[in-house]
Structure 1
């Protein structure tokens, strides 16, 4: 599997194009905007988009999902149904953050902890990781040791929890109980900024390293 990071929106959110190399079929994660950049990457790689995957309902991660799904004729999978709270507010979010108008939508499939999603011959495990938002999910390829973590974890930081229905204790629990057991060698793509590994964050992250009290 190949993963291409496409920073989009004024927030430079890391949309990812995940490609099954065996079939040249792909999934797009968190298309928050700048759809022309995403479509250009799809065309440059000569892949067939099979579905759109969403980690959570904040506008910089999902504002372009409905439009892109309609253009490619593909389903939207994720996030967890507790994220309806945020997706229903997309029109309000767009006004608040100065984004182009965005419509609320219903994903074709809400995801639960323990689910899997597939594209081509690739399978990603789904982990419900609330805290930043109530219905946030993380996608993990155990085969390729890669995780798409949205705004749960960053290189040197963690997701903010001061938005409505955010919960700091839940976020710390999600990271330590859901992500760390997957292995230090997992490379993760955060919602913003550079990639890192779970092991590096366990050693050095000032919020969730092994030396920091819960």
Structure 2
């Protein structure tokens, strides 16, 4: 299956939303963080058919566009069970504390209960539990496309913050080391903020990972 991806930074924090599509113009949407109507317009213009919304975690800047997109296309939302309540709770997802208005959505349609393969249409993704930035953070790996959607676990030259509720610095480093750095070195890392990178580049130059 031929695939391609598009990054769309959305909202005031420029959170990366990704559209991962195949030759049939079907796509999976990762982290529609804001500007749902803009995202819907883009999908229509490109004649893409969304199959699902996958959330790497449920901080407010990753979920702000969920309802607009879910309602427009009637597609399911997936999130890890450890953040089951975060979508409906502005206190848990951080919007109550960090921004001037509350963000919430309905419950997810599917809870990710464990690691393993996730099949959505013709797409097969491997789910890795990568907590540390948040308790339910997950990364989605496409073996065929050799890329991983890492959310806010791993960035180019950096790692996710761990000073938010449920964050744990040592746990995040372990997640990155055990789950992400074991991927093939040419794997493209598609992060929640900033540009793409590769596993090899981060192994060699990320100052947060040196000596771990």
Q: TM-score, normalised by structure 2?
A: 0.92
Residue 59 of structure 1: aligned partner: 60
Contact 2:36–2:69 (8 Å) recurs in 1: yes
Structure 1 stretch displaced more, 157-166 or 64-73: 64-73
Residue 4 of structure 1: aligned partner: 6
CA distance 1:13–1:99, change in 2 (3 Å): farther
Residue 74 of structure 2: aligned partner: 73
SS at match of 2:29: strand
Alpha-carbon distance in 1 for matches of 2:44, 2:105: 27
Question: After the TM superposition, which segments of 4 or more aligned residues of structure 1 sit over 2 Å from their partners?
Answer: 84-105, 112-120
Task: Structure 1 unaligned segments of length 5 or more: list them.
Answer: none
Alpha-carbon distance in 2 for matches of 1:197, 1:175: 13
Contact 2:57–2:134 (8 Å) recurs in 1: yes
SS at match of 1:181: coil
CA distance 1:20–1:63, change in 2 (3 Å): same
Alignment of 1:1-214 (within 5 A): 1-21=3-23, 23-78=24-79, 80-84=80-84, 86-90=86-90, 93-98=94-99, 101-208=102-209, 212-214=210-212
CA distance 1:74–1:20, change in 2 (3 Å): same
1:85 Cα deviation from its structure 2 partner: 5.1
Alpha-carbon distance in 1 for matches of 2:67, 2:4: 24
CA distance 1:138–1:160, change in 2 (3 Å): same
CA distance 1:83–1:137, change in 2 (3 Å): same
Q: Deviations over 1:9-35 (max 9, x none)?
A: 1000000111122x2111111011111
Contact 1:33–1:63 (8 Å) recurs in 2: yes
Alpha-carbon distance in 1 for matches of 2:33, 2:154: 18
Q: TM-score, normalised by structure 1?
A: 0.91
Alpha-carbon distance in 2 for matches of 1:113, 1:103: 24
Contact 2:84–2:111 (8 Å) recurs in 1: no
Contact 1:24–1:120 (8 Å) recurs in 2: no
Structure 1 stretch displaced more, 196-205 or 118-127: 118-127
Contact 1:117–1:124 (8 Å) recurs in 2: yes
SS at match of 2:84: helix
Q: How many aligned residue pairs are there?
A: 209
1:66 Cα deviation from its structure 2 partner: 2.6
SS at match of 1:41: helix
